[in-house]
């Protein structure tokens, strides 16, 4: 997707590792925290020994296939899509848990791939993650105190015991666990799922990061407590200025709290824009289908359900042209030959569909 | 509980266990010639005998180095008060002094009698260690409370299993016999000229305790041999297990955590040790290195570590994939930190349960090797006794039945006891193996005495009994089970 | 409404099929509205060391033939237990304490295990929670479907496999795939296979315990559409158990909301969603976003569900209810009629 940034400052200076000092003094430019350009994350397909000898070319799973988007500072951007679309891989690549095989990630104008090892360590602190399953995301043998204090310990950020305890207590309270002292010496299995997820959030907040990647943070929780976690994310955005990358398969949840939505399909972003705009005025057939099938608590609502047939194809065998064309209800002749590029619909709302006019 | 106040239970435990541990340490190397019959004063004198705590100098030097390193780490931690660091420094100094004395530098010996005060050094170090635990308890009352509660819980669960209690009972009996051997039977009764009966293979009789099991082919007391053998058999078994477990677990964790080339090579090395037929291997080593029990310990460790390594590696491979390990990586932990803080604690229960079974195997191996004649000919172990039985034809002599049966039964009971303890430990470790009621009381809504009412924080995901999430990962699963998680998310 | 097909699914001629082997007359006769299931004051408890967990404590609902009923509530409310109780599939420490389960006039609660084995799968079948993982990974899927057919109808293996192929066709999987193993199928496919298995012996009532919970939104829509189609073609009665009120709203005719082992509201889904009467229902509905309405934050319900070992007296929702009064816990609350066929367990409704 087109970005609002000009050429990033670092690239203009020429090649060379970016050091810690530079990273420390970097600022958010034009309100954009992350500028991702043509990001590619491919995984090699595992082949049997014999096949790998006789195969002529390596097959790749194109989990994330040249996507470009920006993340504004202090916003909640939702990455929405079904399983296998690459949204989780994207989030993890931003954190450094997966390796990018192509493209560039710019953080505050500096290219992440060119950080020195020291700068990479510092950078990793600024981007934290909350996992989906609070039952497994924290070590069951550690106390809550240990879990939340671990990031501080591991990054040598505290000088004394008292300092550590203060920061842990503050993080727990910001995550809504009050009074924090009651929770410090408990074990995860003594807490409910919602409380555990709050502990995970506290563990992410304690480093005071710029961005938190939330990977399906409420999927494992009861419906009646989801809102607490979602409200927490919004509160952090507003009061602490934390940017959230909200990864979810549930478009209606994304609609509730995010500022912008990016819809992904099979490794590509098919539509991106402000939430209300995208949901009220979807342009891509996939987005339209998704919105039409989402169930709502209203039995009297009568609307067309565009139920797509078949399932998402295997990312190792991506269809030619527009990768959505085999299932698209509005498919045309040219869709199987040409891959669409992003077309501006209105303002910051973009969609990648040949019907809107974009052609490679 | 306010800071600075040690939990009462912990205090009690320190006060009870420190003297007990001191007693055990004294008894391990207690002089062999002071039985109860030689008079009270003589026996008491044994506690301050030069032979007590006379460990080889290199072990003491090693302990000194470890203590010094711990002291340095404590200093760097910059806690509120330096008493922990100071205690550790004091311990390191004492150990250094001790090591020098042991090495023969008599100028450091303050009394003029070289090496005569090892027991004093040991006592001082033990008291310092107790003080260290006390200080820890004072500084972290909540953690100490947690530790105490956890231990009591584990004991409560262990106690509920009859196998565990029975096994522990048998072990206490035999370990007691081993430790108290110097008091029960004077070692002099094992010297070749200390016959208790004029004839070989005298039948058991009740009128003297030395004749309870009769006499052997030389007329020596079988009972005396039996009691002193327990020391060797158990000691060799335990020491071999400690080495096996440390080496095996270490190898397993490293090869399991680091995949790729390192892991592969490590595994192949482990495989080599696994496939070597241990008995011929042990015999070759014994022939090459000599026949004494230190060698046997090494031989048993040499042939057993690979089994532990493989088991631990398998567990590490599955623990490595869990979400909290990934989280640890995401927050920037080093590999060593992850292995120490995340992998090890989740592997420990398995390692511990495996160690208990390894002791059984080690005792059995030692018996086998001694039986085949590879043991120390000058010392007695149950295997050696069995070897003598077969070599001298005691199997044909009806009066020598006790001579044949006693060591065999002892080995069987000890091995059985360790297996029973291992079974009970499995239940302690893995809630899935416990009865349903037990695991229910640990669940989120359980009415455990420790749970204070938690204010706010929102509702729970606690499913009804049928739909209970199996948070089984937290205690480490039994060896065959993979940590199964039933997440309901897509 | 279905869009372009891919090679994996059988062509749209599926719509023309009826249940194999049964004349159309029978299907039509079934659609006449007669009560097929009537649960009256069912109580099912679990025995624990500490006492009895009253998982289902006096639940009543009924279902007419050919209709669908949604059993909704959060985790721990007892909906799965109620379903298992109907089929008497409770675990060892569970038992039906009292109440009746009238299926086609017969009381299942009083049936012996032998009697139940005749009912299970032949007349009532169930799609379990996490069904996709309930398939045996080392056996072909077709054979797993054939197994109950062979057991119940005593036909040969070949005939059962042929029936399995028909069933695959019915649920929209290419019949040639009966020889595949579960890991070769995607999540949605496996769920369809489980539905096929549930239909193997032509049951009258199918219970689906969270059949779409772990599936993607589009696959969920496909499965729900499939269930709807099958319901009409085969004149099935269907009970859908779900924590997702939105799914229940869109697919079921009648709804029952459960909380802490009791039914708190019952009626047609239209009634429940247009005029929610119980405070819990009102709060719960607001916890589900409606993407076609104005954008607002979903609500939550403070507090925790009660401990079912010792449920509090009176209304179980009282601690979390904004309208709670001391009168609420003085006595057990009864179902109050809001309108014909619509009931709520709250005296404030009247």
pLDDT tens-digit readout, B368-391: 988 988 888 888 889 999 998 888
- Do A325 and A271 lie in one domain? The reply is yes
Together in a domain, A144 and A201:
yes
The pLDDT of residue A49 = 63
CB pairs < 8 Å spanning B and C: 61
- Please provide the average confidence, as pLDDT, over all residues in chain B: 79
Q: Are residues A273 and A204 in the same domain?
A: no
Query: What is chain A's percent helix, strand, coil content, to nearest 5?
Result: 35, 20, 40
Q: Do A138 and A85 fall within a single domain?
A: no
Output the pLDDT for position B131.
92
Structure tokens at C317: 């929702």
Q: What is the pLDDT of residues A106-148, one digit of tens each?
A: 999 888 888 888 888 888 888 899 998 888 888 888 889 999 9
CB atoms within 10 A of CB A53: 8
Q: What is the mean pLDDT of residues B7-17?
A: 90
Is the CB of C94 inside 8 Å of chain B's CB atoms? yes
For the ranges B34-38, B217-221, C58-62, the lowest mean pLDDT is seen at B34-38
Q: Which residues of B touch A97 (CB under 8 A)?
A: 326, 329-330
CA distance B459 to chain C (A): 4
| Total length of chain B | 490
Is the pLDDT assigned to residue C195 strictly greater than 80? yes
Mean pLDDT score, B304-314? 93
Distance CA A336, CA B480 (A): 50
| Contact predicate B7/B144, CB 8 Å | yes
pLDDT in tens, A242-268: 999 999 998 999 999 999 999 999 999
H or E stretch including C153?
Answer: helix C141-153
Give φ, ψ of B456 to 5 degrees: 60, -150
Residue B111 has pLDDT above 60, yes or no: no
Q: What is the pLDDT of residues C134-165, one digit of tens each?
A: 888 899 999 998 988 888 888 898 999 999 99
Compute the nearest-CA separation of C117 from chain A (Å).
35
Nearest to A296 by CA among B285, B359, C244: C244
Reduce the DSSP state of residue A90 to 3 states and report it. Answer: helix
Interface TM-score (ipTM) > 0.95: no
Q: Decide if A221 is inside a domain.
A: yes
Q: In the structure, what pLDDT confidence band is assigned to residue A56 with cuts at 50, 70 and 90?
A: low
Order of strands, edge to edge, in the sheet holding A110-111? Answer: A60-72, A32-44, A102-107, A110-111
How far apart CA C323 and CA B399 sit, in angstroms, is 90
The predicted pLDDT at position B452 comes to 33
Residues A172 and A218 in one domain: no
Least confident of A20-34, B119-133, C1-15, C235-249: C1-15
Same domain, A15 and A98: yes
Domain assignment present for A254: yes
Q: According to the model, what pLDDT value does residue B161 have?
A: 87
Residue B480: band (very low, low, confident or very high) from pLDDT cuts 50, 70, 90: very low
The shortest C-alpha distance from B482 to chain A (Å) reads 14
Find residue A350's DSSP bridge partners: A272, A344
Q: Do B327 and A203 touch (CB under 8 A)?
A: yes
Per-residue model confidence as pLDDT tens digits over B410-456: 999 999 999 999 888 887 877 555 443 333 333 333 333 333 333 33
CA distance A252 to chain C (A): 6
Tokens 């009791």 identify what position?
C262
Q: How much is the pLDDT for A68? A: 93
Task: Give, for A167, the enclosing helix (H) or strand (E).
Answer: helix A161-174
The residue with tokens 């010996």 is B109
Of all residues in chain A, the percent with pLDDT exceeding 90 is 36
Would you state the pLDDT for residue B250?
Answer: 93
- Phi and psi (nearest 5°) for C340? -55, 120
Enclosing H/E stretch for C197 = helix C187-198
Highest mean pLDDT among B209-223, B259-273, C122-136: B259-273
> Which of A208, A226, A250 represents a domain boundary (last residue)?
A208
Q: Which residues of chain A lie closer than 8 angstroms to C304, CB-CB?
A: 192
Q: Does C130 touch chain A (CB under 8 A)?
A: no
CA-to-CA distance for B38 and B23, rounded, in angstroms?
20
Q: What is the pLDDT of residue B429?
A: 77
Q: Which residues, in sequence order, are CB contacts of A199 under 8 Å at separation 6+?
A: A134, A138, A144, A147, A148, A172, A175, A177, A183, A188, A191
Instruction: Decide which of A208, A238, A253 is a domain's last residue.
Output: A208
Q: Give pLDDT, residue A213.
A: 94
C-alpha dihedral over B342, B348, B350, B351, to 10 degrees? 130
> What CATH number is given to the structural domain containing A102?
3.40.50.300
A293 pLDDT more than 60 = yes
C9 Cβ under 8 Å from any chain A Cβ: yes
Rounded to an integer, the average pLDDT of C20-43 is 61
Q: Of the candidates B420, B408, B381, B180, which has an alpha carbon nearest to the alpha carbon of residue B300?
A: B381
Does A2 map to a domain? no
Size of interface A-C (CB pairs under 8 A): 154
Mutation target among C189, C212, C289, C295 for the A interface, most CBs of A within 10 A = C289
Task: Report which secondary-structure segment, H or E, holds C35.
Answer: strand C35-48
B-chain CB neighbours of A141 within 8 Å are 345-346, 474
Report the residue from C188, C217, C304 with minimal CB separation from A311.
C188
Tell me which chain B residues have a C-beta less than 8 angstroms from the C-beta of C302: 458-459
Reduce the DSSP state of residue B457 to 3 states and report it: coil
- Of C82-91, C181-190, C253-262, the range with the lowest mean pLDDT is C181-190
Q: Tens of pLDDT along B128-185? A: 999 999 988 888 888 888 888 888 888 988 898 899 999 999 999 999 999 988 888 8
Q: Which residues of C touch A226 (CB under 8 A)?
A: 287, 298, 300
Rama region for B373: left / alpha / beta (φ>0; ψ in -120 to 50; rest): left
Contacts 24+ apart (CB under 8 A), C15-24: C15/C229, C17/C169, C17/C170, C17/C233, C18/C233, C18/C234, C19/C170, C19/C202, C19/C233, C19/C234, C20/C163, C20/C166, C20/C170, C21/C202, C22/C202
Position A331 in a domain: yes
Helices (H), B57-160: 57-77, 83-103, 118-139, 141-159
Assign C14 a pLDDT band (cuts: 50, 70, 90): very low
Give CA–CA dist C70/C238, Å, rounded: 8
Looking at residue A23, what is its pLDDT? 85
Count of H helices and E strands in chain A?
13, 12
Residue of B nearest to C210 (CA): B488
Quickly state the pLDDT bin for A185 (edges 50, 70, 90).
confident
Q: How far is A95 from chain B (nearest CA, A)?
A: 7
* Rg (chain C; Cα; Å): 21
- Is A54 part of any domain? no
pLDDT over 90 (residue B314): yes
Q: How would you list the strands of the sheet with C35-48, edge to edge?
A: C51-64, C35-48, C94-103, C106-107
A22 and A152 in a single domain? The answer is no
Cα–Cα distance measured from residue B375 to residue B283, given in angstroms and rounded to the nearest whole number:
10
What is the residue range of A274's domain? 9-46+59-126+209-356
Examine the fold and report which residue of A169, A192, A208 is the final residue of a domain before the chain moves on. Answer: A208
Mean pLDDT, range A228-242, rounded to an integer: 89
Domain count, chain A: 2
Residues 6+ apart with CB under 8 A from C230: C170, C171, C195, C199, C236
Q: Is residue A51, in this structure, part of any structural domain at all?
A: no
Q: Which residues of B52-68 are buried (b: 16+ CB within 10 A; e: fewer)?
A: bbbbebeebbebbeebb
Take residue C295 and report the two structure tokens written for it: 């954008």
End-to-end CA distance of chain A: 13
Q: In what order do the strands lie in the sheet with A349-351?
A: A127-130, A211-215, A243-248, A76-80, A260-265, A268-274, A349-351, A343-346
B464/C214 CB distance under 8 A = no
Q: What's the mean pLDDT in C234-252?
A: 91
Residue C21 banded pLDDT, cuts 50, 70, 90:
very low
Q: Domains plus CATH for chain B?
A: 8-151 (no CATH), 181-437 (1.10.3720.10)
**Residue A98 within any structural domain of the chain:** yes
pLDDT value of position A312: 83
Q: What three-state secondary structure class fits A111?
A: strand
CB count, 10 Å around CB of A1?
21
Q: What is the mean pLDDT of residues B315-339?
A: 89
Say if residue A316 is in the same domain as residue A230: yes
Same domain, A19 and A79: yes
Phi, psi of B211 (to 5 degrees): -105, 10
A174 with A232, same domain: the answer is no
The mean pLDDT of B273-296, rounded to a whole number, is 84
In this predicted model, which residue has the larger pLDDT, A287 or B218?
A: A287
Per-residue pLDDT tens over the stretch B194-252 = 777 777 888 888 888 888 888 888 888 888 889 999 988 998 999 999 999 999 999 99
Query: What is the reported pTM?
Result: 0.79
Q: Let me know if residue A87 belongs to a domain.
A: yes
Does residue A146 share a domain with residue A81? no
Smallest Cα–Cα separation from A173: which of A80, A227, A269, A240? A240
A163 and A213 fall within a common domain: no
Instruction: Decide if C164 contacts C179 (C-beta within 8 A).
Output: no
Gyration radius of chain A over CA positions: 22
Alpha-carbon separation of residue C190 from A326, B114, C19, C349 (angstroms): 22, 79, 21, 44
Looking at chain C, the whole-number percentage of residues with pLDDT higher than 90 is 25
């Amino acid at each position: 997707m087109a970005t609002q940034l000009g050429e990033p400052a670092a690239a203009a200076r020429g090649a060379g590792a970016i050091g810690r000092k530079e990273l420390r003094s970097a600022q958010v430019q034009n309100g954009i925290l992350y500028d991702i350009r043509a990001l590619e994350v491919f995984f090699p397909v595992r082949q049997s020994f014999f096949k790998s000898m006789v195969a002529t070319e390596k097959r790749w799973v194109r989990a994330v296939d040249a996507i470009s988007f920006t993340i504004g500072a202090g916003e909640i951007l939702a990455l929405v899509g079904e399983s296998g679309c690459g949204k989780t891989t994207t989030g993890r690549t931003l954190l450094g848990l997966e390796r990018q095989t192509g493209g560039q990630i710019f953080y505050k104008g500096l290219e992440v791939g060119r950080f020195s090892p020291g700068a990479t360590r510092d950078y990793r602190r600024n981007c934290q993650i909350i996992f989906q399953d609070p039952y497994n995301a924290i070590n069951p043998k550690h106390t809550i105190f240990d879990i939340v204090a671990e990031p501080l310990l591991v990054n040598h950020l505290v000088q004394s015991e008292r300092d550590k305890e203060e920061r842990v207590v503050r993080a727990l309270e910001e995550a809504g666990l009050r009074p924090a002292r009651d929770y410090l010496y408990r074990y995860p299995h003594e807490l409910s799922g919602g409380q555990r997820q709050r502990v995970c959030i506290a563990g992410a907040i304690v480093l005071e990061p710029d961005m938190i990647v939330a990977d399906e943070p409420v999927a494992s929780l009861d419906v009646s407590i989801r809102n607490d976690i979602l409200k927490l994310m919004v509160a952090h955005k507003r009061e602490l200025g934390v940017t959230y990358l909200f990864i979810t398969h549930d478009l209606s949840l994304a609609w509730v709290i995010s500022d912008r939505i990016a819809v992904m399909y099979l490794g590509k972003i098919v539509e991106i824009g402000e939430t209300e705009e995208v949901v009220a005025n979807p342009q891509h057939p996939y987005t339209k289908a998704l919105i039409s099938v989402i169930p709502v608590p209203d039995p009297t609502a009568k609307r067309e359900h565009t139920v797509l047939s078949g399932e998402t194809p295997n990312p190792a065998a991506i269809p030619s042209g527009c990768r959505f064309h085999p299932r698209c209800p509005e498919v045309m002749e040219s869709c199987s030959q040409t891959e669409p590029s992003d077309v501006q619909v209105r303002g910051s709302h973009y969609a990648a569909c040949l019907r809107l006019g974009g052609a490679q | 509980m306010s800071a600075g106040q040690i939990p009462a239970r912990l205090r009690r435990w320190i006060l009870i266990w420190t003297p007990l541990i001191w007693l055990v340490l004294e008894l391990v190397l207690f002089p062999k010639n002071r039985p109860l019959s030689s008079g009270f004063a003589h026996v008491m004198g044994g506690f301050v005998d030069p032979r007590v705590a006379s460990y080889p100098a290199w072990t003491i030097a090693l302990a000194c180095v470890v203590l010094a390193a711990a002291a340095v780490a404590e200093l760097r931690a910059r806690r509120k008060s330096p008493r922990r660091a100071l205690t550790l420094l004091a311990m390191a100094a004492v150990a250094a002094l001790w090591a020098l004395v042991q090495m023969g530098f008599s100028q450091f010996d303050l009394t003029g009698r070289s090496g005569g005060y090892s027991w004093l050094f040991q006592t001082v170090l033990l008291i310092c260690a107790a003080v260290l635990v006390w200080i820890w308890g004072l500084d972290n009352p909540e953690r100490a409370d947690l530790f105490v509660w956890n231990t009591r819980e584990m004991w409560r669960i262990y106690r509920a299993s009859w196998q565990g209690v029975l096994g522990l009972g048998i072990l206490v009996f035999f370990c007691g016999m081993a430790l108290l051997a110097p008091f029960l039977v004077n070692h002099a009764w094992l010297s070749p000229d200390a016959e208790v009966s004029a004839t070989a293979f005298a039948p058991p009789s009740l009128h003297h305790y030395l004749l309870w099991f009769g006499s052997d082919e030389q007329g020596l007391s079988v009972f005396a041999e039996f009691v002193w053998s327990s020391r060797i058999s158990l000691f060799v078994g335990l020491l071999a297990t400690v080495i096996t477990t440390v080496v095996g677990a270490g190898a397993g964790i490293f090869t399991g955590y680091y995949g790729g080339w390192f892991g592969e090579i490590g595994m192949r090395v482990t495989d080599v040790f696994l496939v070597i037929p241990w008995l011929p291997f042990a015999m070759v080593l014994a022939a090459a290195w000599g026949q004494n029990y230190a060698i046997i310990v090494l031989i048993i460790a040499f042939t057993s570590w690979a089994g532990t390594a493989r088991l631990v590696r398998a567990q590490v491979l599955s623990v490595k994939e869990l979400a909290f390990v990934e989280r640890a990586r995401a927050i920037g932990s080093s590999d060593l930190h992850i292995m120490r803080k995340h992998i090890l604690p989740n592997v420990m229960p398995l390692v511990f349960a495996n160690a208990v079974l390894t002791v059984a195997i080690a005792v059995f191996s030692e018996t086998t090797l001694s039986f085949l004649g590879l043991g120390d000919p000058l010392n007695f172990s149950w295997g050696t006794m069995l070897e003598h039985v077969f070599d001298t034809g005691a199997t044909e002599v009806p009066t020598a039945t006790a001579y044949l049966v006693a060591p065999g039964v002892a080995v069987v009971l000890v091995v059985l006891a360790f297996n029973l303890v291992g079974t009970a430990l499995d239940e302690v470790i893995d809630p899935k193996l416990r009865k349903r009621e037990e695991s229910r009381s640990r669940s989120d809504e359980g009415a455990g005495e420790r749970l204070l009412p938690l204010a706010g924080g929102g509702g729970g995901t606690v499913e009804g009994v049928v739909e209970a999430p199996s948070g089984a990962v937290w205690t480490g699963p039994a060896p065959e089970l993979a940590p199964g998680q039933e997440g309901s998310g897509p | 409404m279905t869009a372009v097909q891919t090679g994996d699914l059988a062509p749209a001629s599926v719509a023309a099929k009826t249940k194999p082997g049964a004349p159309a007359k029978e299907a039509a006769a079934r659609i006449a509205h007669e009560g097929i299931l009537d649960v009256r004051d069912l109580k099912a408890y679990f025995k624990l060391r500490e006492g009895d967990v009253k998982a289902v404590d006096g639940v009543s609902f009924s279902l007419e033939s050919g209709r669908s009923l949604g059993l909704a509530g959060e985790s721990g409310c007892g909906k799965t237990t109620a379903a298992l109780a109907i089929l008497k599939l409770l675990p060892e420490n569970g038992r039906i304490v009292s109440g009746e389960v009238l299926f086609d006039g017969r009381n299942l609660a009083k049936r012996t295990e032998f009697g139940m084995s005749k009912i299970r799968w032949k007349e009532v079948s169930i799609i379990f929670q996490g069904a996709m993982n309930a398939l045996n990974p080392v056996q072909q899927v077709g054979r797993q479907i054939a197994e109950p057919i062979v057991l119940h109808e005593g036909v040969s293996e070949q005939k059962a496999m042929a029936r399995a192929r028909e069933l695959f066709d019915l649920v929209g999987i290419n019949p040639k795939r009966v020889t595949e193993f579960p890991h070769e199928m995607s999540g949605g496919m496996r769920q369809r296979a489980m539905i096929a298995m549930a239909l193997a012996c032509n049951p009258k009532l199918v219970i689906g315990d969270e059949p779409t919970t772990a599936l993607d939104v589009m696959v969920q829509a496909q499965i729900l559409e499939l269930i709807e189609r099958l319901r009409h073609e085969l004149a099935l009665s269907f009970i859908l158990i779900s924590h997702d009120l939105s799914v229940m709203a869109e697919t079921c005719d009648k709804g029952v909301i459960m909380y802490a082992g009791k039914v708190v509201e019952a009626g047609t889904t239209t009634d429940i969603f247009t005029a929610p009467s119980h405070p819990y229902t009102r709060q719960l509905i607001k916890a589900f976003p409606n993407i076609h309405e104005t954008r607002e934050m979903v609500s939550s319900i403070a507090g925790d569900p009660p401990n079912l070992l010792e449920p509090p007296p009176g209304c179980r929702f009282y601690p979390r209810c904004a309208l709670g009064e001391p009168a609420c816990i003085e006595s057990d609350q009864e179902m109050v009629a809001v309108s014909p066929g619509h009931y709520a367990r709250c005296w404030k409704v009247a």
